[in-house]
Structure 1
Amino acid sequence: MTIEVTGDNSTLIQSQVASLLVQPLEQASTFLAAGPVVLDSSSPVRVPRITSGVSAGFVAEGAQITDGDVGFDEVTLLPSTLKGLKVLVRLSNELIRTSVVGLEAVLRTRLVTDVANALDTALWDGAGTTNSVKGIFKASGIATGTLDLADPDSLIDGLAKAQGNHVSPSHWVMTPASFAAIRKIKVGTTDKRYVIDPNTIQNGTDLRLLGLPVIVTDRIPNSGTAPGKARVGLVDFSKVVVARDVNAEVKILDQTWGDYDSIGIRVVSRWDVGLLQDKAVTLLTEA
């Protein structure tokens, strides 16, 4: 009697795993999860703001009150020239029918994820060139400071600068490498105790530093040429406004390439970001 074993029937086992489609390991989207103000609009958005107030003073009874002059400007989002994030994939109907996975549904989800990743990168650190999104770390007028990953005092100085600008930061933002470097600072060469208590840094999945939540993302790369200079941001997300025109709209184009017996999956998204107060962001960069 012959017993059939797996070593001689590998094709039978392969069919059991063929319905799995492994996604790549990647950074999760972090910007929108931090809680900025989101405005929905399909047309340009203008957010008025007061740039300077008046000085109140003590005035004697019956004396003339000095006139005041209030300064105004505005934050403009979603200009008509702003480009959207778009992606398109074409595939044959034979591929859809013969695939062991629900390929059309999988690709829809995958393309939405890819657009979300590109959006996250743009909202954090987009260059703003050629009518694209300018990220908050590239915005004009933000506060800046010097970062020293070997000295926690540089973080305290950054926090003091934000507070001096009358900002109440809600989050730290840094790369995994920067966060690890800060966590590993020791008391001294012969004293291996950590300067920052590990118990105050991580409580479960909640990361904190100097009392504030930490957003760890690789979408704020070092500035300059490789390896570049590390950057750490302090952000008050109550002063960050995001304008949303289209939120990952998915279309199945089943007629456009009918003569090829193929369909297309198109994902379109259009967003913009701005700061209600320029100093809502304090960006620390290595010297």
Structure 2
Amino acid sequence: MATKTTPTSPKAWAPDLTAFVPTDVVPDALILNTATVVGQIEGDEPAIRVPFVSDDGVVGFVAEGAEIPDANQEFDEVVVLTGKVAALGKYSFETLAQPEAARMVVDSLSRSVVTKANAAYLGNLEADPGPTGLLNTADIIDFETPIGDDLDQLVDAIAFVETDGGTATHIIANPTAWATLSKLKRATDSNESLIGAGTVAAERALLGLPVLVTPAMPAGSLLVVDQSAIIGAQSPVRLARSDDAYFSSDSIGVRVTWRLGWKVMHAARVAKLTIA
């Protein structure tokens, strides 16, 4: 008896599943720009475990010939679980037969996946599906006093991150927060912006750090982060199309899925601020 295999069977018996590198399909995803992605993982239960040294211990001068004491380092690990963000669309055959329709549909579904991923990355509550968002992570630096007429709070936030041994790499801001900062003036009677003229198109930056502006951040809020302090995991972005799922209505299903997760490894290297 001959064995039926996918290479010798009609294509309907082996439908294609297309996978893409996330940076190609969802380049605006915050996790790709502000976290250290260490690997790929599939499933809600498996986790990526990343070891790290939480305390370098004590080192000092030792007299010649004396016993060198144990530095007494502290070892720890960060456990990253992931969740799947998915979008599904049902379209009539005639809709996707229109020129450019399929590309527009996939672009739209991809944007919706990014929107959800960014919102979760920043604002997920501990009880929500998926990992806890950066804003709700325990023990991060939280400036209760809002930024006023100067950038002193922001300077302090960067200093706090560096005091813990980190390096501030990004500022994540809500559009209104960035607009408010951009309107700060050098003096009361001056029209000169505190952070630059703002009339030349250039990469957004503040205090030497790139600024990522996103509506996923709550209004009037900012985060200062050290990319190496946030560990991420992900899967490829998968695009699938089925002409059979909605056969009875002559419709086509298009699905986009992306699995991702993150965990803050050093909470004192993430700082939350607000704008007055």
Alpha-carbon offset, residue 279 of structure 1: 2.1
Aligned to 2:75, what secondary structure does the other structure show?
Answer: strand
Residue 256 (structure 1) aligned with residue 245 (structure 2): yes
2:149 — aligned with what? 150
Question: Which runs of structure 2 are paired with 1:1-287 in the superposition (5 Å)?
Answer: 29=28, 31-32=30-31, 34=33, 36-38=35-37, 39-42=39-42, 43-78=46-81, 82-97=82-97, 100-145=98-143, 146-189=145-188, 191-194=189-192, 196-199=194-197, 204-222=201-219, 230-245=220-235, 247-285=236-274
Between the aligned partners of 2:141 and 2:61, the Cα distance in structure 1 is 33
> Which structure: larger Rg?
1
| Helix, strand or coil at the partner of 1:198 | coil
> 2:129 & 2:195 partners in 1: Cα distance?
45
Are 2:34 and 2:170, in contact at CA under 8 Å, matched by a contact in 1? Answer: no
- With over 3 angstroms needed to count, the CA separation of the structure-2 counterparts of 1:110 and 1:70, relative to structure 1, is same
| Distance 1:131-1:187 versus aligned 2 partners, 3 A rule | closer
Contact 1:54 1:69 in 2 (8 A): yes
> CA, structure 1 residues 203+124, in 2 after alignment: closer, same or farther (shift >3 Å)?
farther
Return the offset for 1:197: 5.0
The one-letter code matched in structure 1 to 2:265 is L
Write the distance in 1 (CA, Å) between the matches of 2:28 and 2:59.
Answer: 45
Structure 2 counterpart of 1:234, one-letter code: V
TM-score (norm 1): 0.75
Distance 1:69 1:33, change over 3 A: closer
> CA 1:202–1:272 in 2, change beyond 3 Å: closer, same or farther?
farther
Counterpart secondary structure, 2:90: strand
CA displacement at 1:252 relative to structure 2: 1.1
Task: State, as a whole percentage, how many aligned pairs show the same letter.
Answer: 26
CA separation of 1:261 and 1:195: change in aligned 2, threshold 3 A:
closer
Instruction: For residue 67 of structure 2, give the secondary structure of its aligned residue in structure 1.
Output: coil
Mapped contact 1:183–1:196 kept (Cα < 8 A): yes
Contact 1:253–1:264 (Cα < 8 Å) also in 2? yes
Partner of 1:4: none
> SS at 1:84's partner residue?
strand
The number of equivalent residue pairs is: 245
Moved more, 155-164 or 29-38: 29-38
Cα pair distance change 1:131/1:283, threshold 3 Å: same
- Cα drift, residue 49 of structure 1: 1.2
Q: Contact 2:177/2:275 (CA < 8 Å) preserved in 1?
A: no
**CA RMSD for the aligned pairs?**
2.5
Aligned-partner residue type, residue 155 of structure 2:
I
The answer to whether the Cα contact below 8 Å between 1:183 and 1:194 also exists between their aligned partners in 2 is no
Q: Unaligned 5+ residue runs, structure 1?
A: 1-27, 223-229
| Cα separation, 1, equivalents of 2:172 and 2:117 | 17
What is the rounded CA distance, in whole Å, between the counterparts of 1:133 and 1:286 in structure 2? 26
Residues 60-102 of structure 1, C-alpha deviations (whole Å, 9 max, x = no match): 3444333343222211112xxx5311121122224444xx434
CA distance in 2, matches of 1:202, 1:162: 31
Distance 1:209 1:168 in 2: 15
Q: Distance in 2 between matches of 1:187 and 1:286?
A: 17
Unaligned runs of 5+ in 2: 1-26
Task: Quote the offset at 1:111 in angstroms.
Answer: 0.9
> What is the identity, as a one-letter code, of the residue corresponding to 2:111?
T
Per-residue CA shift, 1:127-158, capped at 9, x if unaligned?
24343132222222212223323232222222
Q: Per-residue CA shift, 1:164-188, capped at 9, x if unaligned?
A: 2222211222122212222222344
